[in-house]
Amino acid sequence: MNDYTSKDDRDELLTDYNAIIRESALVIAFTGILFGFLLNMSVSFAESFTLVNQITLMVAIFSITIAISLFILPVVYHHINFPYRDLEKFKRRAHRFMLFGFIPTGITLYLSLEIALSSFIGISAFALSAVPFVLVYVLFLKRK
């Protein structure tokens, strides 16, 4: 036990650490599966794709790689800086890493949907792929 925490405080800190690390693990698993799917597509089907789809796939792979890296940062930060003297600082940083990871994840989801739809409807897939995101945004705004 450190000089600056009691046993009760330490237990509460461990609960907070665990919640943050579990949340990070959840999104890492999701983005890892998406990365594997895109990587498989690039190896298996990329030569049959149009140039637009090949570029879209490349951007999606880069985007999901950035997202995974951002989602892993709370775990890395946890191991580099443990034990903490300022849990709030850790929580703020972990929150920012996760928040910034959602941006490339959304981009990747959009591009993945566009790739899937483009084989059916061509270039119109760029517009149609935005529909689920607009719908979710509208529902988010109406949550109250």
Do residues 125 and 118 lie in contact, with contact meaning Cβ atoms separated by under 8 Å? yes
Q: What share of the chain is helix, strand, coil (3-state, %, to 5)?
A: 85, 0, 15
Q: Which amino acid would we find at residue 116?
A: A
C-beta atoms surrounding 10 within 10 Å = 14
Quote the CA–CA distance of 35 and 63 in Å, as a whole number: 9
Nearest to 67, CA basis, from 33, 26, 108, 114: 108
| Domain residue spans of the chain | 7-141
Do residues 38 and 62 lie in contact, with contact meaning Cβ atoms separated by under 8 Å? no
- What pLDDT score was predicted for residue 6? 52
Q: What is the mean pLDDT of each run of 10 residues along the chain (144 residues)?
A: 50 65 88 92 86 93 95 85 76 89 95 91 92 94 87
- What pLDDT score was predicted for residue 1? 44
- What pLDDT score was predicted for residue 133? 94
Quote the CA–CA distance of 103 and 66 in Å, as a whole number: 10
